Amino acid sequence: MRIVDFRKRLVTALGRKLEYATPANVREFVDQMQLDLWREEHPQSAPGETAARIEIPDSLPMSYEALMRSFFVRALDADRDQALIQLWILALDLAYSGIEEMHSEQMQSLFRSEFE
């Protein structure tokens, strides 16, 4: 995917200045983009067959830190557009998940009883 295509999809989903962005529709956008990027990298094997399923190898489990290192190394090795898209999606996801967490904490305080 090229950056111009990503930008068009972003504007369509969230607005030119992200004015329609909420934690919920950002989550939907991020999930759909990750799925579409996966399918782009792993096209169908035969005509009429669906795109390859995401499979988790039976290799040794990775820590979160190792997973993040792997992501950033892959981003460095990717072409410019792919790296920018991957890093932009990660930043958007992290920013809006923080907002969602903050809203969740605010809502919890509204529903706490005085006797807790």
Residue 70, helix vs strand vs coil: helix
| pLDDT tens sequence across 26-75 | 999 999 999 898 888 877 655 666 655 656 666 666 788 988 898 899 99
Residue 21, helix vs strand vs coil: coil
- Tokens encoding 68: 């993040």
Q: Assess contact for 29 and 96: CB atoms under 8 A.
A: no
How far apart, in whole angstroms, are the C-alpha atoms of residue 12 and residue 26? Answer: 12
How far apart, in whole angstroms, are the C-alpha atoms of residue 55 and residue 96? Answer: 27
Q: What is the pTM of this model?
A: 0.72
- Tokens encoding 34: 């990750």
Q: Assess contact for 2 and 81: CB atoms under 8 A.
A: yes
